Chain A
Amino acid sequence: MRNKIITLVACAALSLSASAADKIKVGFLSTLTGPISGISSDLRDGFNLVLELNGGKFGGLPAEVVFGDDQQNPDVGKQVFDRMVRRDRIDIVTGTMFTNVMAAIAPTAFSNKVFFINANAGPAEFAGENCNPFYFSTAWQVESMDEAMGKYVTDKGFERVFLLAPNFPVGREHLDGFKRMYKGPIVGETYTRLGQLDYSVEIGQIRAAKPDAVFVFLFGNMGINFIKQYHQAGLSNEIPLFGPGFTFDDDTIRAVGEPIVGSLNASHWNEDFDNPANKRFVAEFERVYNRKPSIYAAQGYDAAQLIDAAVRDAEGQIKDHDRFRAALLQANFESVRGAFRFNTNQNPIQNLYLREIVREPDGRIVNRTVGLLLENHEDPYVGQCDMG
């Protein structure tokens, strides 16, 4: 009798693995509370929009999304993620905002064969030596926007650049990216406390160093605080301020207002991109959430589109990891950024554009795409990646 039951269970298990799964479980582990939660909610809303438009399904499979809050803390993130893996048995994890959280959960994800779809940032580690078949990035490699700005600043002939970033590994990676393509002299390089509120000291240092351009990587409230204070010190009229796209994104524009007009930044996406996928995304996002989408919203949307396409192409066989991975690698979806494909390290190959913040005739302050900086750009770490 007992043997019979075991045989039955084994048969059931076998038939399950051969046919399509009946649903897909996604762990959405993000920083949903705290100062950064504004941009994480954008990522989440962009992700949810795909489900909303698809009637709650990814590639025809009913999707169950488990939300978890890492509180911007790698230890908390690891705990929440372990629970998602063991109790909820998720197939995919996405939503992480911070590279330290990503580093904390990645080993568990890879050893449990959970696909890690990274939708924000992309540390050098996972693009290079620690690349993994279970890791895909639909965002950008950390340094790419900075590389693009480095190229622009060099092309425009700036010769005295001051650099500023928060004092944590990714902050340094960003400035390294800028320095890879900017070849001129650097008159100052300052690292500030992560989450610093007041930049009066650094603004004093900038004034004393007399640069002809300032490049900052700051995000969320740090970017807002810095740009406001830079303007109040009267520097915005004297020394141009450059940065990667998310230092000058919609969340910052909304909180800073007029002083931000005229800033130039690099991004792989902008609201005004003239492709059908993006037009649909912008219109639907505004309809559902009653606000304009940000870069983060676009990232969340594309990550969900990738999952949707891969589940569809793998005909729901998400437990067949090789097949599902092959389907993910195809990136068979219309990205809101236009051309998008995966490199051999499963990081993006994409264009980077120059954006300028302008005031529209209707009074709205927005980013406008004004040029192409890098075409089909690959990250510099792809050579170090050996999936073998």
Chain B
Amino acid sequence: MTATFLLEQMLNGLQFGLMLFLLAAGLTLVFGIMNMINLAHGSLYMIGAYLAATAVGYTGSFVAGVLIALAGTAAFGALLESSLLRRFYGRDHLSQVLATFALILILNDGVRMIWGPHAMLVNVPALVSGPIELLPGLHYPAYRLVVIAVGLLVALGLYLLVVHTRIGMRIRAGASNREMANALGGNISGLFTVVFALGAMLAALAGAMLGPVLAVEVGMGESIIILAFVVVVIGGIGSVRGALIGAIVVGCVDTFGRAFLTTILREFSSPTVADNLGPSLASMLIYIVMAAILFWKPRGLFPAQA
């Protein structure tokens, strides 16, 4: 157990956390402002990844491909919101869950019809395809550093948008007291569409950035959306700051659990028990942490709603 190994795992946790943040930021805004549980948020992540994979293949440029995917998914999100999802804002959560679950199935099959059932190929841009030696003995994939940088930049951008712009003010108003913002606001439905499109764009960014690292395939959204919900709940519904902190907590807890739990258990028990218990406990760790946080802070770390 060396310092470089520890540092490497911290970077891994940060990178995973920042990508979860991109997903959770949109989710928490939609949940907080529209009071809408959107299970299909993971599908937007998938669509972002597929659009990016296709656009990168078509244009030959990774950056252009990602930008096209962002625009395309944001437009798709806006369309989805204004045509379908807006009708569910007033309904109870069960209807929303059912409708958006149906949407997952429809979008999965839609993607399968367009792109086929097999995972798609996305290459890492050649410039950052190899590892970089950060410190002596610490090799880290250059592309993951890019992912971390993009995540941090987006977090900063979102902070500026939410805290220092007029639309950000309206978003905060909506998150802290929806009814009052509704009563005072002019174009609330326009705001909803903008927020939904923004959330879709962030999800697409996560999908596009993770495309070269993970398999781009049908159903990729479902495996990650549960974690995004955990982040939202830990961070406090509607709070972008909470989503950032929650995402980094989840990313680090998951990473450290996998990296160290088995080794630590070996100190206390036989290797066989540790090897059997370690992996199982590591995959439960996030949920244990979530339960603990909710025990002491039932409304999450940074509750946005008054």
Contact = CB atoms under 8 A, between A and B. Distances in A.
Given A201-B258, A204-B9, A232-B129, A195 B139 contact: no
A365 to B, nearest CB: 10
A47 B218 CA distance: 22
Contacts of A207: 139
A293 to B, nearest CB: 12
Interface stretch (A15-23, A87-95, A252-260): A252-260
Contacts of B129: 232
A200 B15 contact: yes
Interface stretch (A185-193, A298-306, A379-387): A185-193
B123 to A, nearest CB: 6
Nearest to A194: B283
B72 to A, nearest CB: 21
Interface in B63-107: 105
Interface in B37-87: none
A387 B195 CA distance: 65
Interface in A205-244: 205, 207-208, 220-221, 224-225, 228-229, 232-234
Interface stretch (A33-41, A104-112, A349-357): A33-41
A66 interface: no
Contact of B275 (A191, A202, A228): A191
A228 B119 contact: no
B120 A255 contact: yes
A167 interface: yes
A355 B283 CA distance: 34
Most chain A CB atoms below 10 A, which of B8, B123, B222, B255? B8
Nearest to A365: B121
Contacts of B279: 167, 190-193
A262 B49 CA distance: 28
A299 to B, nearest CB: 16
B213 A228 contact: yes
Contact of A224 (B119, B223, B275, B278): B119
A200 B223 contact: no
Secondary structure call for the A interface? helix
Contact of A258 (B2, B108, B123, B282): B123
B213 A37 contact: no
Contact of A198 (B8, B143, B214): B214
A173 to B, nearest CB: 14
Interface string B127-171: 001110000000111011000000000000000000000000000
B216 interface: yes
A197 interface: yes
Contacts of B117: 37-38, 41
A84 B119 CA distance: 31
A167 B257 CA distance: 15
Contact of B212 (A37, A197, A228): A228
Nearest to B124: A232
A146 interface: no
14 contacts: A33-B105, A191-B275, A191-B279, A197-B223, A198-B213, A200-B8, A200-B9, A204-B12, A221-B215, A225-B215, A229-B213, A234-B131, A234-B141, A255-B215
Given A35-B217, A207-B139, A255-B215, 6 more contacts: A191-B278, A198-B213, A224-B214, A232-B141, A234-B131, A234-B141
10 shortest interchain CB distances as A-B pairs: A234-B131, A255-B119, A221-B215, A232-B141, A224-B215, A200-B12, A167-B279, A193-B283, A191-B279, A201-B258
